[in-house]
Amino acid sequence: MNNDEAKFILGVYRPDGRDAADPAFAESLAQAQHDPVLGAWLRREQALDEAFSAKLAEFPVPDLRKQILAGAHASRRRRAWGRGAVWLAAAAAAAVLIGTAVRLGRGSSGPGPEELAAFARHDLAADASEHLGAVPGLADLQRHLADPSTRLGAGLNLDLAALRQHGCRVIKVSGRDVYELCFVRDGQFHLYVASVADFEAARPGAAPELTSQGALTSATWADARYVYVAVTDAGPDALRRVL
């Protein structure tokens, strides 16, 4: 590879290092390290690219947020009636599951974690407008959940009373309080949390149990204090990555 070819390739190398792991740049970058002329060119080029990027980022952006959200709200409302068949199928299947779980639960003193999981899948499939998404009072926690280094399966240090106080959505399942937190990583995730004392047969410390139903996948696990159900439509692999 001569220097002109290396310059051609390095011309699309972002100066912030985000392309550093891309093997397409490896040979050109190595050449720039050993060739002082090419190295000096790359430094100048990157300084110039940095300068242009910084200037572009300075350009003021009008506040379109409210207009965008308002416009989308109207279209979402219309779409809600015709939500995809996959969601309807999932909702129907989840409703059957819940019915089964409730019937099986009769005679015992409380619901089990599988009932919570069935509820969570049903809750996600049935009406997305009920979910709160970003909650200002829970922003730090939601950021923590969205952080790729956070592994939910390791358990979370939560205070349910504080969650309620800060605006967390709370749903009654068989008379028990269940708290819902939403976050985004490789997809959208909904984490349902309840006191482990409220859901019998939860086994603290056991590996998360994955269940797929239509487009939705849930994982159920428990620690000493809480039982958790995470639900997503991003697929089992995406769900495993957050556990």
Partner 1 sequence: MPDEVFPQLVDAYYPALYRFALSLARNPADASDLTQQTFFLWATKGHTLRDFTKVKTWLFTTLHREFLGMRRRDWRQTPLEDLGPAEKDPPALEADGVNKLDAPQILAALQELEPIYRSPLTLFYLRELSYQEIAEVLEVPIGTVMSRISRAKAQLRAVLAQKTTHGRIFEFPPQERSHS
Closest CB to partner 1 among residues 185, 225? 185
17 counts as binding partner 1 under rule CB under 8 A? no
Look at residues 194, 171, 173, 190 and name the one whose alpha carbon lies nearest to residue 182: 190
CB 239 within 8 A of CB 215: no
Distance CA(26)–CA(28), nearest Å, equals 6
How many helices and strands in the chain, by DSSP H and E?
9, 6
Closest contact distance (angstroms) between CB of 218 and partner 1 is 15
Q: Pattern 24-53, binding to partner 1, x per CB under 8 A?
A: --------------------x--xxxxxxx
Closest CB to partner 1 among residues 43, 203? 43
Would you tell me how many other CB atoms lie within 10 Å of the CB of residue 220?
25
Among 1, 26, 71, 197, binds partner 1 (CB under 8 A): 71
Q: Pattern 196-235, binding to partner 1, x per CB under 8 A?
A: -------------------------------------xx-
Chain-centroid distance of CA 161 in Å reads: 23
88 counts as binding partner 1 under rule CB under 8 A? no
Size of the site for partner 1 (CB under 8 A): 53
Closest CB to partner 1 among residues 48, 207? 48
Q: For residues 108-147, which are near partner 1 according to CB under 8 A? A: 124, 128-129, 131-134
CB 231 within 8 A of CB 128: no
Closest CB to partner 1 among residues 167, 204? 167
Give Cα separations from 96 to 7, 99, 164, 213 (angstroms): 62, 5, 30, 11
Closest CB to partner 1 among residues 71, 204? 71
Look at residues 184, 178, 163, 179 and name the one whose alpha carbon lies nearest to residue 232: 184
Indicate the Cα dihedral angle 110, 115, 116, 117, nearest 10°.
Answer: 160
Q: What is the DSSP letter of 178?
A: E
Q: Pick the piece of the chain touching partner 1 (CB under 8 A) from 18-26, 31-39, 95-103, 149-157.
A: 18-26
Dihedral sign (CA 216, 217, 222, 223)? negative
Distance CA(28)–CA(226), nearest Å, equals 52
Which single residue is written with the structure tokens 């990027």?
53
Q: Pattern 162-201, binding to partner 1, x per CB under 8 A?
A: --------------------x-x-xxx-------------
Q: Which residues of this chain interact with partner 1, rule CB under 8 A?
A: 4, 8-9, 11-12, 14, 16, 18-19, 22, 44, 47-53, 55-62, 64-65, 67-69, 71-72, 75-76, 79, 83-84, 124, 128-129, 131-134, 182, 184, 186-188, 233-234, 238
